[in-house]
Structure 1
């Protein structure tokens, strides 16, 4: 008989209004799982190593139609992106011992019955956790939003909100590689210092300390903004629109300020018309075909130290709810990762 082991899980309790709380998720310790797939299975059994905490997961916690991803079901396992090791496989594309990244469960072991959601890890000479960040969805998000949508030119003025997060920290470094002037905003002095001293931003400011965001942007961008990488929305977007240059570009990656409370709408969108600004939203999974091109660009930059990537590591499955909730109050410094086991 196949070995049975305990399998801790994080279960979604019920739909959320406002800010999510740790109590919206439940650690379940009573599950067991077989370490051998049943005969004839086409699935893949994995041991989860790293779990990714991402802002989009908040939208899945509400009972609304988001148009691109289903809500979590109350009482069901939370799922997200992660890195895992294959323990057993009924699928010819994977074999025992393979390291993979893709969609998995918030649990110690998962049976993936849709193996097309997994990607085999080919490069193991970089930290495996990077496949939740710089080498995963956040990385290709930064790449697509900046290079494909914003089409930067040398010497342009670039502003990045939520600049120390999983995506923003990369956008700022990509901007510097293109010869742009780049400023980031963050919510603590620690993050501001990180942007300037570790990640190479030309300047950075703590938006929580600014009484007037329009005045702050005019201070850092006296000639205006060519490219805005949008992660925040709300008041920040309004201030940016006041400072965009003619023919500016805005990549709308996310609007974390509005995930928990819709609040008031942006009142000055007419600046898009008068300044001929192009603002485009995008979803990373529509650009999956660009992963090989992106990997070819970014892997050498990681290995030679040109690109830095900051991670905020939480230890153990039981820490996952706290780690996820912390995203929405800015507690994380860099990409938030939960470590279940190290390879």
Structure 2
């Protein structure tokens, strides 16, 4: 099979506040030859995730920013078309950091085989992939929920938050989810088994949260920030644990907003002996990823864990789908189907 060119989406300009479709550009480029120990991949599914917003800014972070006119970063499920690597064969499916494109030539770094018998391949970008492991690492390894605890998570219908709540229930804790809209709240209650669901769009959101957490909050999985953090803060119990994996409410706005109440937050951390632990999921991957895969895949097979995917067809639709995700328009894990499954 001869492939000379490929399509990719690059960062055309850096956003000023909230990104727009004009910050991206779809272009065609020449595909390089497959080097020794390299792979030629056809991308099937592209994962869209909030962390990508941070990579669009030229600021110091835990990972380098995407350069202007360079391909947007991202993990994919791909089919091996040609292999010059001893560990991979043509026809196999792999997880690979190809970025936003339809074909890619890469070496074996960061590549993992995908077992189609374990799950639908797209699930390896969501519940059994980076978002799922983020939920597992933050809740189980940092939050350490105990029977009878109250666990609260925002963006609760998304790929991270939905698994946080289900793992909390499996651990014997109460799961309180915060989501946007009545449909998502019903999904948390009726499909995922959360104990309570709060609509963050409700004008009395803070009061509803307090009523759902009458004994306070023992674990708050932070992935939003903003007004939700302000509603959670006074409800945290002494020795509460706060795994911090994201602050999506602040990704496109003023990061120095006084409404973030830094002084009040620090006071509560001190007086309530709170554990606030920021983390990046790969810190725990070497030791805990196999255990995560086993526990969550078993939970899916037994019907105790459910997941939802929001699939968009066509690489060219990735920018609009990404912007919609940042604004909360998605319902489930956002995945771009770049090519039909082989």
Give the TM-score taking structure 1 as reference length.
0.94
Offset at 1:102? 3.0
1:21 aligns with: 20
Spell out the pairing of 1:154-169 with structure 2 (5 A cutoff): 154-169=147-162
Q: Does 1:257 align with 2:249?
A: yes
**Candidates 220, 227, 230, aligned match of 1:235:** 227
Asked whether the equivalents of residues 96 and 112 of structure 2 are also in contact (C-alpha less than 8 Å), the reply is yes
SS in 2 for 1:172: helix
**Candidates 85, 98, 106, aligned match of 1:91:** 85
Offset at 1:116? 1.9
Q: Alpha carbon RMSD of aligned pairs, Å?
A: 1.5
Offset at 1:125? 4.1
1:273 aligns with: 270
1:178 aligns with: 171
Question: Number of matched residues?
Answer: 335
Q: Deviations over 1:232-288 (max 9, x none)?
A: 112211221100111111111111011111133333111111111111111011111
Asked whether the equivalents of residues 47 and 334 of structure 2 are also in contact (C-alpha less than 8 Å), the reply is yes
SS in 2 for 1:195: helix
**Candidates 192, 202, 216, aligned match of 2:195:** 202
Structure 1: stretches of 5+ with no match in the other structure: none
Q: Deviations over 1:129-148 (max 9, x none)?
A: 00111111111111110110
Spell out the pairing of 1:1-343 with structure 2 (5 A cutoff): 3-28=2-27, 30-33=28-31, 37-38=33-34, 41-66=36-61, 68-113=62-107, 115-211=108-204, 213=206, 215-261=207-253, 262=255, 263-264=257-258, 265-267=260-262, 268-269=264-265, 270-289=267-286, 290-341=288-339, 342-343=341-342
Offset at 1:5? 4.5
Asked whether the equivalents of residues 199 and 205 of structure 2 are also in contact (C-alpha less than 8 Å), the reply is no
Runs of 4+ in 1 over 4 A off after TM superposition: none
SS in 1 for 2:177: strand
Q: Deviations over 1:158-217 (max 9, x none)?
A: 11111111100000000111111111111111111111111111110111113452x222
Give the TM-score taking structure 2 as reference length.
0.94
Structure 2: stretches of 5+ with no match in the other structure: none
Asked whether the equivalents of residues 31 and 105 of structure 2 are also in contact (C-alpha less than 8 Å), the reply is no
Equivalent-residue separation in structure 2 for 1:16 and 1:90 (angstroms) = 39
Asked whether the equivalents of residues 198 and 205 of structure 2 are also in contact (C-alpha less than 8 Å), the reply is no
Asked whether the equivalents of residues 118 and 297 of structure 2 are also in contact (C-alpha less than 8 Å), the reply is no
SS in 2 for 1:241: helix
Q: Deviations over 1:90-110 (max 9, x none)?
A: 222222112101311211100
Asked whether the equivalents of residues 226 and 248 of structure 1 are also in contact (C-alpha less than 8 Å), the reply is yes
SS in 2 for 1:240: helix
Offset at 1:79? 1.9
